[in-house]
């Protein structure tokens, strides 16, 4: 800690200034730090604070509640105005992509960073963990423990520049078409490669695009990411945390968070392995001996660049092909449904629950369709302009069932914003990272049922037979169950890098993917490849554990809302439409925002059943499918995956799929990597 504080004179002066402000000191700080004796005394004082004499976090000494409340009132007013300015600039750019709008957005974001840094410096002058008012204490903590404002100016600017550069490299990456010569290499991930990965059945074509994308990203980002890790850790330690992963986990406000989600992942794993085994058998039918009957799967054949969503394999793995996939797109066209009508349908779902209608500003300012006169970002999104008045959705709506679902998802987010809008700005946020996603997806579980679509006149062939139910649950499992282990490992990898160092980052990435997903790289890898960077959230510095939280919490919320609505029968057939009881519970949960610890909100949400993230509702939802999968897999050699056997029954590395631990020339595999992989080969997960 001493070496970190001595690293830069500017940071030392900042810390001593904060202390001086806290105790009302008026002496000249420069004079106080001019002698070694006084300098060391001040450093020692700062260390005592940061090391935990007054708690885990970086804090000052001011415990005056009046001062704290005055600061928070001023902060709320200024931060709300700043939020409105930045959000408006972001909206203008997203709905009209021009260089001018882009520069305006960058300028506003830079101004916001300066404001937030100044607010952080003021917040840490308080001994906020000892402020007697619980709401004030909570607000101060939110300001004091987020961000990397403890870095010196040059390093603070450097880490934000690094993240911006990494994001730019990612978004501007292009690859060449497969087996085409003398053509422009301009294929993008979102508009070209993802479609190919989802639709192609050509093993070699899929392999080409998988490799081309990873090659376009990882090697270019590795060195930048190494420096990013170094700076992120420095900032976290200066703020009182063990490392940057420790600081990220603070967002979940639970010292047992990692243990909680590990238990949830363990509970989901048997269901995932049953799904995995069945899907592998179908891929073996498609690709022959390129897919081992008892082994892991290569990462490129699951219909998605990261093997995180397997929905594009539905036609291959559909349990009962005679029953059609649920899709009301044609019905929507026959009924003359327009994009505007889709938003009206979504609003009516929420008002049928007794929840709030959209305000006039929503209908006036939202972007419902793609304009023809300018370039826009079409990714659907919900917007809160931080003024308790202006709420919008941006979506390039097409008349499809997917767009109808997306409309409901985004309007669910707006409902969240509307419900908590009376709180101070800091509490106008989700209860914990991933909760707004869970709310949207829980609504989606109700909307995306034959029962609901029939009620609103978009699904005439309502059948509740066994075949249709299993098909439906298979589709949902390819979306939800297949995603869970990937959502789990991304931040497990990142937090390991922050805590244990940057050696063997790529090897550890594939160790985790092998362990939890049964996924391996389809071709030789080395540390040069830096494959984790091929997922945007890694270079973009975006938290990912929230998606694991959301995929589990959505079922907990859905189950509770279904129970209070009086639903009987299988959980996956529940439709919340017109249930005022469900609407009241949902409104009560959403209206708390982030004003209370999320455990209290989850207890309210589950009506006292639990205050933790729990997999039981998710397992109940998929139980009919799980029973079917167990029967289908009875003849499979392995439930799960193994790496291979020799004639003596000893496990070994036999496949090029494991060549991420490939050695070339003078490169030598580290002993720890070899030992950890050896242990992995003995981790045969058969139950």
DSSP state for residue 573 in the 8-state scheme: G
Neighbours of 649 (CB within 10 A): 6
What is the C-alpha to C-alpha distance for residues 214 and 207, in angstroms, rounded to an integer? 11
- The pair of structure tokens assigned to 2 is 């001493």
Beta strands in 369-505 (DSSP E): 381-384, 391-394
**410: annotated active-site residue:** yes
> 371 in helix, strand or coil?
coil
> 673 in helix, strand or coil?
helix
**527: annotated active-site residue:** no
Q: Which of 317, 261, 324, 354 is nearest to 543 (CA)?
A: 261
Q: What is the DSSP string of 616-663?
A: HHHHHHTHHHHHHHHHHTTT-S-SS------TTS-----SGGGGGG--
Radius of gyration, CA atoms only, the chain: 27
- State the DSSP H helix or E strand holding residue 298, giving kind and residue range, or none if neither: strand 297-298
Q: How far is CA 581 from CA 116, 135, 293, 482, 561, in A?
A: 41, 29, 49, 32, 8
What is the C-alpha to C-alpha distance for residues 389 and 443, in angstroms, rounded to an integer? 24
- 437 assigned ligand-binding residue: yes
The structure tokens 């729990």 sit at: 614
Angle, helix 203-238 to helix 483-500, in steps of 10 degrees: 40
Indicate which residue of 311, 410, 511, 563 is catalytic: 410
- State the DSSP H helix or E strand holding residue 520, giving kind and residue range, or none if neither: strand 519-520
What is the C-alpha to C-alpha distance for residues 395 and 393, in angstroms, rounded to an integer? 6
Q: What is the largest CA-CA distance in the chain?
A: 85
Indicate which residue of 454, 537, 581, 623 is catalytic: 537
> 381 in helix, strand or coil?
strand
Q: Provide the CB-side half-sphere exposure for 25 (13 A, CA).
A: 18
CB of 65 closer than 8 Å to CB of 127: no
Q: Which of 185, 209, 188, 187 is nearest to 197 (CA)?
A: 209
For 561, residues 6+ apart whose C-beta sits below 8 A from its C-beta are 442, 446, 576, 579, 582, 585, 586
Binding residues: 437
Annotated binding site for Zn(2+): 437
Catalytic residue set: 410, 537
């Amino acid at each position: 800690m001493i070496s970190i504080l001595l690293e830069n004179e500017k940071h030392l002066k900042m810390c001593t200034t904060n202390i001086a402000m806290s105790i009302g000191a008026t002496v000249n700080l420069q004079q106080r730090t001019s002698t070694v004796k006084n300098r060391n005394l001040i450093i020692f004082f700062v260390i005592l604070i940061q090391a935990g004499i007054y708690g885990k976090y970086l804090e000052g000494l001011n415990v005056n509640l009046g001062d704290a409340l005055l600061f928070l009132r001023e902060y709320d007013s200024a931060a709300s105005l700043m939020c409105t300015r930045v959000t408006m600039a972001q909206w203008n750019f997203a709905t009209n992509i021009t260089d001018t709008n882009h520069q305006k957005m960058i300028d506003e974001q830079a101004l916001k960073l300066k404001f937030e840094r100044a607010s952080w410096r003021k917040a840490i002058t308080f001994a906020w963990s000892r402020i007697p008012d619980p709401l004030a204490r909570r607000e101060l903590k939110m300001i004091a423990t987020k961000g990397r404002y403890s870095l010196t100016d040059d390093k603070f600017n450097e880490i934000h520049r690094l993240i911006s550069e990494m994001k730019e490299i990612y978004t501007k990456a292009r690859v060449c078409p497969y087996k085409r010569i003398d053509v422009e290499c301009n294929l993008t991930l979102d508009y070209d490669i993802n479609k190919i990965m989802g639709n192609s059945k050509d093993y070699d074509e899929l392999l080409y695009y998988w490799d081309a994308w990873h090659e376009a990203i990882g090697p270019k980002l590795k060195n930048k990411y190494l420096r990013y890790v170094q700076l992120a850790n420095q900032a976290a330690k200066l703020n009182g945390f063990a490392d940057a992963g420790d600081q990220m986990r603070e967002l979940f406000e639970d010292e047992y968070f990692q243990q909680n989600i590990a238990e949830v992942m363990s509970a989901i794993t048997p269901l995932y392995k049953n799904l995995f085994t069945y899907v592998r058998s179908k891929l073996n039918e498609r690709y022959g001996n390129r897919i081992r009957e008892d082994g892991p799967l290569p990462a490129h054949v699951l219909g998605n660049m990261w093997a995180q969503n397997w929905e594009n394999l539905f036609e291959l793995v559909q349990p009962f092909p005679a029953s059609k996939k649920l899709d009301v797109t044609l019905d929507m066209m026959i009924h003359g449904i327009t994009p505007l009508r889709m938003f009206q349908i979504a609003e009516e779902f929420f008002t049928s629950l007794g929840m709030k209608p959209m305000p006039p500003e929503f209908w006036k300012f939202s972007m419902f369709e793609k304009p023809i006169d300018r370039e826009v970002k079409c990714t659907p999104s919900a917007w809160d302009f931080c003024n308790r008045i202006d709420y919008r959705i941006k979506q390039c709506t097409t008349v499809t069932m997917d767009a109808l679902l997306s409309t409901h998802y985004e309007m669910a987010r707006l409902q969240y914003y509307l419900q908590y809008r009376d709180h101070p700005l800091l509490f106008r946020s989700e209860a914990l990272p991933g909760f707004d996603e869970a709310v949207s997806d829980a609504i989606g579980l109700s909307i995306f049922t034959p029962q609901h679509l029939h009620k609103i006149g978009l699904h005439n062939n309502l059948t509740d037979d066994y075949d249709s139910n299993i098909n439906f649950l298979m589709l949902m499992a390819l979306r939800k169950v297949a995603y869970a282990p990937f959502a789990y490992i991304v931040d497990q990898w990142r937090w390991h890098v922050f805590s244990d160092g940057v050696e063997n980052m790529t090897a550890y990435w594939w160790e985790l993917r092998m362990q939890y997903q049964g996924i391996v790289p389809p071709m030789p890898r080395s540390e040069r490849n830096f494959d984790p960077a091929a997922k945007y959230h890694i270079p973009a510095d975006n938290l990912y554990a929230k998606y694991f939280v959301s995929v589990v919490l959505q079922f907990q919320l859905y189950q509770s809302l279904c129970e209070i609505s009086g639903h009987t029968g299988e959980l996956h057939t529940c439709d919340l439409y017109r249930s005022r009881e469900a609407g009241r519970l949902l409104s009560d949960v959403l209206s708390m925002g982030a004003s209370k610890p999320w455990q209290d909100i989850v207890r309210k949400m589950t009506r006292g059943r639990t205050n933790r993230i729990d997999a039981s509702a998710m397992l109940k939802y998929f139980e009919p499918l799980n029973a079917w999968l167990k029967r289908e897999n009875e003849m499979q050699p392995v439930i799960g995956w193994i790496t291979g056997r020799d004639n003596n029954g000893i496990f070994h590395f036999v496949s090029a799929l494991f060549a991420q631990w490939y050695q070339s020339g003078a490169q030598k595999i580290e002993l720890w990597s070899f030992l950890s992989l050896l242990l992995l080969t003995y981790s045969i997960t058969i139950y």
